[in-house]
Amino acid sequence: MTDQGVPEHLLKTRNQEPVTLLEAISEALFEEMSADDDVFLLGEDIGVYGGAFKVTRGFLDHFGASRVIDTPIAEGGFTGAAAGAAHMGLRPVVEIQFMDFISPAYDVITNYIATSRYRGAGPLPLVIRGPVGGGNRGGPFHSQNVEMAFFHTPGLKIVYPSTSYDAKGLLKAAIRDDNPVLFEEHKGLYRAPALREVLPDEDYVVPLGVARTVREGTDLTLVTYGAMVHKSTEAAEILERDDGASVEIIDLRTLLPMDDEAVVESVKKTGRLLIVHEDTRTGGIAGEIAMRVSETAFEWLDAPMMRVTAIDAPVPYSGSLEDYFLPQTEDIVEAGRYLVAY
C-alpha cells in the first residue's frame, strides 16, 4: 500500500505517531479495504457523515459509495444483506451505530448467519462491529454490552479488545476470518489518552481465540476483558501495593471461542479465580468461565470462584447511579482482597 491519497489522519502509524483505540480501528478497516477489494462497509451514516464516532471519516471519498454504504435505519435488513454479499464472496464489515441497536438484527444473526455454514452454505466472512459499554452517561439505550445476547449461539465468534494494538490486530483477523464475527468496541476506550500507543508499521494480526496475559502473578487469577482490563490493572496495583498480593490478569480478547487453556493454566498456578465483567451479573460470561474451570481444574481451587460485575438493571442515565451500577476499581480490590485472604 502506498500512502498516495490516504487521508492524513489515517497515516499516524505510517508516521509512527501514537494512535487511539478508535484510530487503530480506522486504520485496520482502511488497510483491509486497501488490501482486499472484496472488503466493504455498510452502516448508518458511515459515509457522508463518517460515522457517529467518525471511525470511517474520509472513507467515502477514498473508496467510493459502492464500498462505503450509507444504509437506511434497518439493522436487520443491512446485516442480512451483508450475509448475502458474503455468500457471493465479498467480505462485508457492518457498523452498528450503537451496539444496543443490534437487536433488530438478532433474528437474522442467530437464525440465519450463525447457522449458515452448518446448513451447507460454506464460509460466511462477515464482521459486525460497533461501540458498546457504559460510563458515558448514555442511559439504557446507548450503553449496553451485547456479548451475552450472542454468546450462547453456536456459529458466532465474539471479540472485545482492550488496547489499541489488539483492536487493530484483532479487527484485521476478524475481517480475514471465514466465520461471522461480532466485534465490540468500548466507547470509553475509543479516545482514552492512556491507550494511545505507537503501533508497528507492518501488517500484523492478533489471532482470534488467544487470550493475553496482562500481568503475571501467583496469588490470584483475574479474568476480564474490554474496559475492565484497565480497572482490573488499577486494582491489581493497589492490591500489590497495599496487600503485597500478586495478581495475574488475563485479558480474554476473544470471548468466543474462549481461550480456556490460558484461564485454566493460570488458575492451576494461583488456585484463585476472580472474574470481572462490565456487563450485568445474572447470565453474564462469568458463569461459563466458572463452569469450565470447575470442570477442568476443580482440584486446584483454593477459594470460591467469584465475580465483580454490573448489577442486574438497565443502565441508569443518572451519573451517580451509573457509577453505582458499574463495577468500580474499589469493588475489584475488595473482592480480590477477600479471595487472597481466603
Partner 1 sequence: MTPDAGDAPESSSGLPRSAIPFAGTGRDSREPVHADDTADSILGNAELRDLFSAVAVSRAAASRLVALEDAGLVRGAPNRPAFREGGAVGVAHALRPASDGTGDIFAPTFRAAGALERYGLSLDGFFEEHLAGRAGPFREVGTELHHVDLQAGLLAPVVPLGLLVEVVGGMCLGFRMRGEARVGVVCDSDGATSTGAWHEGLVFAAARRCPMVLVVEAGREDEAAARRHSRLESFTEKARGYGLGSASVDGADLSEIVVAVRHAAERARRGDGVQLVEIRYTGVDPLERLRTRMVADEVASEDELATLEARAASRCAAALERVRNASLSGAHDTLPGVYAESERTDRRIWADPGSTQAV
Ligand X SMILES: Cc1ncc(C[n+]2csc(CCOP(=O)(O)OP(=O)(O)O)c2C)c(N)n1
* Interface residues toward its own copies, by CB under 8 A: 100, 103-104, 106-107, 110-111, 114-115, 118-119, 140-141, 148-149, 151-152, 154-155, 256, 279-280, 282-291, 294-296, 298-299, 301, 303-307, 312-314
Q: Which does 321 bind (CB under 5 to 8 A by kind): ligand X, partner 1, its own copies, none?
A: partner 1
When binding is defined by CB under 6 A, the residue of 23, 31, 32, 44 that contacts ligand X is 44
DSSP letter at 141 equals: T
Which member of 26, 97, 163, 266 binds ligand X (CB under 6 A)?
97
Which residues, in sequence order, are CB contacts of 111 under 8 Å at separation 6+? none
C-alpha 148/C-alpha 151 separation (Å) is 5
Nearer to partner 1, 151 or 165 (CB): 151
Residue among 142, 186, 230, 277 flagged as catalytic: 142
270 lines the binding site for ligand X (CB under 6 A): no
Positions 271 through 300 that interact with partner 1 (CB under 8 A): 281, 292, 294-299
Handedness of CA 34, 38, 39, 45 (dihedral sign): positive
Residue 62 bears catalytic tag: no
- Binding residues among 20-59 for partner 1 as defined by CB under 8 A: 37, 40, 48
β-strands 254-256, 157-159: how paired?
Answer: antiparallel
Binding partner 1 (rule: CB under 8 A), the pick from 7, 200, 207, 257 is 257
3-state DSSP assignment of residue 265 = helix
220-224 β-sheet, strand order = 212-215, 247-251, 220-224, 273-280, 306-310
Does 86 help bind partner 1 (rule: CB under 8 A)?
A: yes
| 1-4, long-range: CB < 8 A, 24+ apart | 1/31, 1/34, 1/35
**Among residues 79 and 233, whose Cβ is nearest to partner 1?**
79
**What residues from 120 to 179 belong to the interface with partner 1 (CB under 8 A)?**
120-124, 136-142, 154-155, 157, 177-179
List Cα–Cα distances, 216 to 43, 213, 224, in angstroms: 40, 7, 14
Residue 101 found at the interface with ligand X (CB under 6 A): yes
**Spatial separation of the C-alpha atoms in residues 306 and 301, rounded to whole Å:** 12
Catalytic (active-site) positions: 142
